[in-house]
């Protein structure tokens, strides 16, 4: 019985010259007598030629340098724990030790910060909020419908389909939704209490255009309200367990893609499900963020790249790394303001974000990064408070460790774990931070005008800056470090 | 030689040996030598420009980190491709759970002139086909429509011109499997590209 000609794999091998002599002769004979075989052979040849005619894409020119840089960075950071040529077993052993130590330290920090926090406000960077168009766009931002990921006590991922609202009702909805799907390890009452606390903290009506002044102070925050002040700027108040979104505003394709690549890389490391969106269209994949938005200069009236990130606190420094790289690759300068306190470089944001309870894992910034100036980073009240205390405390103060010991125990167990409602709430509250960075593009287009500058940006006590942070920051020392 | 036009005359084996001795600088010529081909293969398998870039970097990093385990039975190039392809397929599997599209794949990636030249240079090329970016787009779509196992063998064979033996070594499957997958993959492509090929 003869096989249909299409099942003759020898034709493909014949085409590729991969048959031995006997087989080749058999196919020759077949082709001589069978028109269908000849036709199929020709179709296969053309198919192969079409694929082979696809244009070759060369690797990015700096790939070798990028590989070298990544290797060096891993060595510096101890990712994997050992130099590239270390013996694998030793590398694994040390990697595990370092990972375990880092995990414990991170959870300690998170627990401590969460314990101190009573509310959370995501603040839109003023650079976005200072134009009407940007305000309109920002106002849309909280209406996320992306699934959030909640980790329960035994580290399983729970995907929650729920929406994030700007008001406290949204928090309650989110809490109820979360508790509906979470297992008993995360009691719903804990989240409900959390939401209620946030509801109370956000009930004050916003005062458009007004921003509380003075030093960062918990009482001042409560009375004047980061929430209300921020809301007037398009603040999004989002449940921390869900508010993983990122917004990239840039007219620079290179910036967008570089940052997106960085986030993807970051996501790859952490294995998190992420979607990036261009407006409402899913356009890519990235880390622990679910939204990406960029604006053209004509939409915002400014040329800066604004990057707003909500991310798990424990991963902040990794993303800082990624964004540092992206910024250096794309537009060069990156500017950071933490709670009105202008930072010398992005690296300085590391300990600030981490509440000072972790050693900074961001290596010394490259010279061009060291010349960066601060423009805008805002976090929630708990972060701000932690940041303030950081200045007065030893980085490894024993108090955070003590207050979160139970959470650490819960988090380091491999099997299913039950933790108390309070612990669960604290873990959730402490899980997310907000980070806003402004990447300044080189002043190359005619439509942008240089922002006004002030001379003493070292500290800025205003709770919510009333003008674009860029307007109050020193001029970047470097403007030519980008290739875009 | 498959080297991508690099001027370094030192052989792979010597560079690998120097890397093993801790001379990291010896790895750079290897990267430069093979980066384009690895990147191109990753791109054609993954279909995502940025992901391919990351995968290429990761492949070289893993190769360097594991260079002590390179036994030299196969060529460094084949071994490197095995790493790259495995990484790419792993990424694809993860991506299958989180479907994505490329964020920053360059527009106009097709290189219209190139395909025109290459197709017209073929003795029996499909002359009736308009050799433009539309053709490339269709070919890429057809490739993307293949399952990963099929797409990989097509890319390794038709794009990277590996022999069946080399493909079998890279994918760690028997040569017969390579032959079978390639045949089925080309049949599937032919069916998808039937309008271009003039198949009725």
110-169 of A, contacting B, C-beta below 8 A: none
- Of A3, A18, A42, A51, which to mutate for an interface test with B (greatest number of B Cβ within 10 Å)? A51
CB contact set of A123 (below 8 Å; sequence gap of 6+): A226, A230, A233, A235, A378, A379, A380, A434, A436, A464
Within 254-283 of A, beta carbons closer than 8 Å to B belong to 256-257, 260-261, 264-265, 268, 271, 273-276, 278, 282-283
Residue A5 — pLDDT band, cuts 50, 70, 90?
Answer: low
Percent of chain A having pLDDT more than 90? 1
Residues B93-101 have a mean pLDDT of: 52
pLDDT at A318: 54
Chain A nearest-CA distance from B70, in A, is 12
Task: Supply the pLDDT for residue B167.
Answer: 93
Instruction: Find the residue in B nearest to A85 (Cα).
Output: B65
Out of A49-63, A136-150, A187-201, A225-239, which region has the weakest mean confidence (pLDDT)?
Answer: A225-239
d(CA A8, nearest CA chain B) in Å: 8
Indicate if the pLDDT at residue A84 is higher than 60: no
Give A288 or B198, the one with higher predicted confidence: B198
Residue B84 has pLDDT above 90, yes or no: yes
CB of A241 closer than 8 Å to CB of A114: no
- The mean per-residue pLDDT over the stretch B183-200 comes to 86
The segment with the largest mean pLDDT, out of A215-229, A380-394, A402-416, A426-440, is A426-440
The pLDDT of residue B124 is 34
* Predicted TM-score of the model (pTM): 0.42
A1-10, A24-33, A113-122, B14-23: least confident range: A113-122
- What's the mean pLDDT in B100-118? 37
pLDDT band at B62 (very low <50, low <70, confident <90, very high): confident
pLDDT > 70 in chain A, percent: 13
Q: What is the pLDDT of residue B168?
A: 92
Q: Do A285 and B124 touch (CB under 8 A)?
A: no
Residues in chain A with CB shorter than 8 Å from the CB of B104 are 253, 256-257, 260-261, 284
Higher-confidence residue of A74 and B14: namely B14
The average confidence (pLDDT) of chain B is 76
The arithmetic mean of pLDDT across residues A91-108, rounded, is: 41
Q: State the average pLDDT over residues B17-40.
A: 86
The pLDDT of residue B156: 93
Residue B34, pLDDT > 50, answer yes
Instruction: Tell me the average pLDDT across A311-329.
Output: 52
Q: Is A392 on the interface with B (CB under 8 A)?
A: no
Per the model's pLDDT, the better-predicted residue between B91 and B3 turns out to be B91
The residue of chain B nearest to residue A274, with distances taken between CA atoms, is: B98
Kindly state whether A24 is in contact with chain B, defined as any CB-CB distance less than 8 angstroms.
no
Residue A257: per-residue pLDDT: 61
State how far the Cα of A460 lies from the Cα of A476, in Å rounded to an integer.
18
How close does chain B come to A433, measured CA to CA in Å? 24
pLDDT higher than 50, residue A208: no
User: B22 by DSSP, 3-state: which?
Assistant: coil
* Residues from chain B contacting residue A58 (CB–CB below 8 Å): 36, 39-40
Among A21-25, A97-101, A159-163, A415-419, the range scoring the smallest mean pLDDT is A159-163
Tell me how far apart the alpha carbons of residues A11 and A7 are, in angstroms, rounded to a whole number.
9
Please give the average per-residue pLDDT across A279-293, as a whole number.
Answer: 32
Is the confidence at residue B18, as pLDDT, over 50?
Answer: yes
Instruction: Look at B39 and A80 and tell me if their CB atoms are within 8 Å.
Output: no
User: A269 pLDDT band (50/70/90 cuts)?
Assistant: low
Chain A contact for B57, CB < 8 A?
A: yes
Sign of the torsion formed by the C-alpha atoms of A178, A180, A183 and A184 = positive
**Which of residues A161 and A347 earns the better pLDDT score?**
A347
Distance CA A271, CA B88 (A): 15
Picking from B103, B179, B182, the nearest residue to A257 by CB comes out as B103
Of the ranges A144-148, A233-237, A308-312, B85-89, the best mean pLDDT one: B85-89
Q: Rounded mean pLDDT of A19-45? A: 89
Has residue B33 got a pLDDT over 50? yes
Task: Report the complex ipTM.
Answer: 0.81
Confidence check: pLDDT of A240 > 90: no
The DSSP element (H or E) to which B63 belongs, if any, is helix B49-65
Is A380 a residue whose pLDDT tops 90?
A: no
Q: What tokens were used for B190? A: 């032919």
Most A CBs within 10 A among B158, B178, B199, hence the mutation to make, goes to B158
A48 Cβ under 8 Å from any chain B Cβ? yes
Exposure string (b/e) for A353-365, b if CB count within 10 Å is 16 or more?
bbbbbbebbbeeb
Going B154 to B156 to B160 to B161, the CA torsion angle's sign is negative
Neighbours of A402 (CB within 10 A): 11
| Predicted local confidence at residue B83, as pLDDT | 92
pLDDT greater at residue B10 or residue A49? A49
Q: Is B156 on the interface with A (CB under 8 A)?
A: no
Yes or no, beta carbons of B98 and A275 under 8 Å apart: yes
Average pLDDT for chain A: 42
Q: Which of A178-192, A244-258, B84-98 has maximum average pLDDT?
A: B84-98
Put simply, whether A63 touches B (Cβ < 8 Å) is yes
Query: What b-and-e string marks burial along A48-77, b requiring 16 or more CB atoms within 10 Å of the CB?
Result: bbbbbbbbebebbeebbebbbebbeebbeb
Nearest C-alpha neighbor of A16 from the set B143, B188, B180, B157: B157
Q: Which of A13-17, A391-395, A415-419, B130-134 has the lowest mean pLDDT?
A: A391-395
Record: contact A12-B98, CB cut-off 8 A: no
Residue B80's pLDDT band (boundaries 50, 70, 90)? very high
Hey, is the C-beta of A36 within 8 angstroms of any chain B C-beta? no
CB contact under 8 A, A47 and B22: no
Give the pLDDT confidence score for residue B183 in this predicted structure: 92
Residue A436: band (very low, low, confident or very high) from pLDDT cuts 50, 70, 90:
very low
Contact A60 B53 (CB under 8 A): yes
Of residues A154 and A106, more confidence is placed in A106
Q: Which residues contact A155 (CB under 8 A, 6 or more apart)?
A: none
* Total beta-carbon pairs less than 8 A apart between chain A and chain B: 190
Q: What are all long-range contacts of A69-74, with beta carbons under 8 Å and residues at least 24 apart?
A: A69/A325, A70/B57, A70/B61, A71/B24, A71/B61, A71/B64, A73/A321, A73/A363, A74/B61
Q: For residue A4, is pLDDT > 60? A: yes
pLDDT at residue B185 tops 90: yes
Residue B90 has pLDDT above 60, yes or no: yes
């Amino acid at each position: 019985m003869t096989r249909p000609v299409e099942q003759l794999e020898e034709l493909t091998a014949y085409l590729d010259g991969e048959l031995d002599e006997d087989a080749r002769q058999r196919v020759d004979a077949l082709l001589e007598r069978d028109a269908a075989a000849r036709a199929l052979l020709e179709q296969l040849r053309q198919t192969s030629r079409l694929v082979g005619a696809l244009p070759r894409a060369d690797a990015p020119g700096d790939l070798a340098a990028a590989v070298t840089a990544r290797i060096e960075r891993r060595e510096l950071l101890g990712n994997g724990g050992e130099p590239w040529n270390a013996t694998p077993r030793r590398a694994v052993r040390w990697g595990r030790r370092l990972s375990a130590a880092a995990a414990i330290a991170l959870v300690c920090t998170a627990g401590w910060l969460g314990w101190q926090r009573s509310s959370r406000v995501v603040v839109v960077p003023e650079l976005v909020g200072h134009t009407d168009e940007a305000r309109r766009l920002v106002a849309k931002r909280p209406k996320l419908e992306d699934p959030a990921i909640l980790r329960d006590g035994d580290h399983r991922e729970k995907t929650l389909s729920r929406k994030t609202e700007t008001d406290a009702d949204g928090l309650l909805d989110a809490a109820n939704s979360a508790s509906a799907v979470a297992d008993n390890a995360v009691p719903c009452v804990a989240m409900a209490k959390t939401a209620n606390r946030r509801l109370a903290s956000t009930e004050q009506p916003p005062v458009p255009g007004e921003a509380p002044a003075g030093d960062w102070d918990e009482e001042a925050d409560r009375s004047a309200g980061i929430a209300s002040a921020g809301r007037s700027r398009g603040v999004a108040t989002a449940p921390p367990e869900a508010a993983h979104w990122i917004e990239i505003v840039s007219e620079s394709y290179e910036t967008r893609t570089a940052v997106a690549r960085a986030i993807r890389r970051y996501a790859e490391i952490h294995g998190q499900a992420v979607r990036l969106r261009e407006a409402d269209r899913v356009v890519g994949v990235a880390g622990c963020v679910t939204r990406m938005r960029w604006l053209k200069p004509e939409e915002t009236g400014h040329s800066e790249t604004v990057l707003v990130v909500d991310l798990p606190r424990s991963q902040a420094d990794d993303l800082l790394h990624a964004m540092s790289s992206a910024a250096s690759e794309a537009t060069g300068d990156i500017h950071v303001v933490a709670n009105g306190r202008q930072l010398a470089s992005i690296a300085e944001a590391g300990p600030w974000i981490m509440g000072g309870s972790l050693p900074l894992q961001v290596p010394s910034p490259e010279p061009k990064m060291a010349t960066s100036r601060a423009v805008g980073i805002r976090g929630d009240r708990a972060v701000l408070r932690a940041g303030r205390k950081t200045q007065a405390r030893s980085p490894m103060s024993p108090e955070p460790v003590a207050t979160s010991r139970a959470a650490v125990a819960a988090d380091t167990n491999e099997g299913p774990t039950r933790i108390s409602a309070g612990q669960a709430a604290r873990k959730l509250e402490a899980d997310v931070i907000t980070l806003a960075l402004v990447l300044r593009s080189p002043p190359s287009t005619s439509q942008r005008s240089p922002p006004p500058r002030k001379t003493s940006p070292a500290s800025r006590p205003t709770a919510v800056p009333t003008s674009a942070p860029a307007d109050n920051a020193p001029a970047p020392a470097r403007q030519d470090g980008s290739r875009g | 030689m498959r080297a991508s036009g690099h001027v370094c005359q030192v052989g792979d084996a010597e560079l690998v040996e120097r890397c093993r001795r801790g001379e990291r600088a010896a790895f750079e010529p290897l990267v430069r030598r093979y980066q384009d081909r690895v990147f191109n293969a990753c791109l054609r398998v993954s279909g995502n420009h940025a992901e391919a870039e990351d995968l290429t970097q990761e492949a070289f990093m893993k190769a360097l980190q594991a260079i002590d385990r390179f036994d030299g039975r196969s060529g460094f190039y084949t071994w490197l491709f095995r790493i790259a392809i495995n990484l790419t397929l792993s990424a694809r599997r993860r991506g299958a759970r989180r479907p994505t599209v490329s964020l920053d794949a360059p527009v106009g990636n097709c290189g219209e002139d190139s395909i025109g030249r290459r197709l017209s240079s073929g003795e029996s090329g499909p002359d009736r086909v308009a050799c433009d970016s539309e053709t490339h787009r269709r070919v890429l779509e057809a490739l993307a429509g293949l399952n990963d196992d099929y797409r990989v063998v097509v890319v390794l064979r038709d794009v990277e011109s590996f022999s069946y033996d080399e493909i079998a070594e890279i994918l760690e499957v028997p040569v017969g499997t390579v032959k079978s997958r390639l045949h089925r993959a080309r049949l599937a492509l032919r069916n998808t590209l039937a309008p271009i090929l003039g198949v009725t």
